[in-house]
Amino acid sequence: MNQRAIKARVPAGGTRVSTITRGETVTSAIPAVDTAGVRALLERGRTLATPVLRAAVNRLAAPMDTVAAYHFGWIDVEGRPAHGDSGKAIRPALALLSAEAAGAAPEVGVPGAVAVELVHNFSLLHDDLMDGDEQRRHRDTVWKAYSPAQAILVGDALFALANEVLLELGTVEAGRATRRLTTATRKLIDGQAQDISYEHRERVTVEECLEMEGNKTGALLACAVSIGAVLGGADDRTADTLEAYGYHLGLAFQAVDDLLGIWGDPETTGKQTWSDLRQRKKSLPVVAALAAGGPASERLARILADDAKLSDAQLAHFTEEEFASRAALIEEAGGREWTSEEARRQHATAIQALSAIDMPAEVRAQLTALADFVVVRKS
């Protein structure tokens, strides 16, 4: 696929983006974000979901309860109370808005918010171990701070808790919600398996990468934005439409994540510089650059093919300059700009999906604001 074929996926008249500064992901076509409004939505999600989430984690046997509490940022590694970063809380916010979109109170969506957050963190615990990530949210990951075994066990336990939290409601709606959650979890695991397998392939197509990211990120965000509506008694058409919004929002989210995985500021992201390049990730900027054709693309392909022959230990000795040169080639080939434009395209598709159903005007505006936030975030 040449550069023209890649750019054909971007809506006509798309605004080009700056690709100079580390951490920049904003496209000029995205309206100014209602930062205060989005922060209020995220804080509401945390406020309503966290007590239920803590109660669920407290059910775990020792030391899993302590390890999980560390992962969520509630305590430090010594067990002392902490106020660590527990994540952006986008999924809980979406679950509460989902309930309101169906005409229910936001509290109706709380069990769904907690279940989705538990599954999300189950995946983070396992992903950190599989990827060898030593830092998350500006401190050691669970497998590094405790042990790989604890990361596996606590991840498994969080997945089990997610289903408990929903099924103990004992309603027909809870059963429907659980089916959607388990389907999303299976797709998430499919996506992680694809992601790992792609690390060992010389070439991955743009379509394969988007399928993987749709599974790994889109499926759970889609579930988050439908699960509250299902618990509130919404029909399948309404839930499916909200899922379509969430799926495309997830693809936009992951495209931005892929940009941050190469060019993100470590002080903001809490990860190493060039983190995805260190892990040989076939992320969207890399795949798009390789598909573009041209001198930079061909040179990048040769370099990455040589890198694939190196052991992890050899790659670990690369200098900052060596990773920076690979990032520069990805940018020169067009991978960074194309990924920014793809985030914008998926954002537009997500917003358009909402037009298929009726909902309170305020809820529609809040879902739009959250989508805007996803595309312009820097962490």
Which CATH number belongs to the domain containing residue 221 in this structure? 1.10.600.10
Number of domains present in the structure of the chain = 1
- Provide the pLDDT for residue 32: 76
Give Cβ neighbours of residue 129 (< 8 Å, ≥ 6 apart): 141, 142, 143, 148, 151, 152
DSSP letter (8 states) at residue 215: I
- Provide the pLDDT for residue 6: 54
Residues of the chain with pLDDT under 70: 1-31, 85, 270
Q: Report the alpha-carbon distance of residue 366 to residue 275 in Å, rounded.
A: 32
Residue corresponding to tokens 């396992």:
126
Give Cβ neighbours of residue 241 (< 8 Å, ≥ 6 apart): 353, 354, 356, 357
- Provide the pLDDT for residue 73: 94
Instruction: Give me the torsion for CA of 272, 157, 231, 51, rounded to 10°.
Output: -70
- Provide the pLDDT for residue 46: 96
Count CB atoms within 10 A of the CB of residue 67. Answer: 25
63: domain range? Answer: 3-376
Per-residue tokens: 198:
């792609």
- Provide the pLDDT for residue 266: 83
Q: Report the alpha-carbon distance of residue 25 to residue 42 in Å, rounded.
A: 21
Give Cβ neighbours of residue 62 (< 8 Å, ≥ 6 apart): none
Give Cβ neighbours of residue 316 (< 8 Å, ≥ 6 apart): 278
Q: Which among 88, 106, 104 has a CA at the least distance from the CA of 96?
A: 106
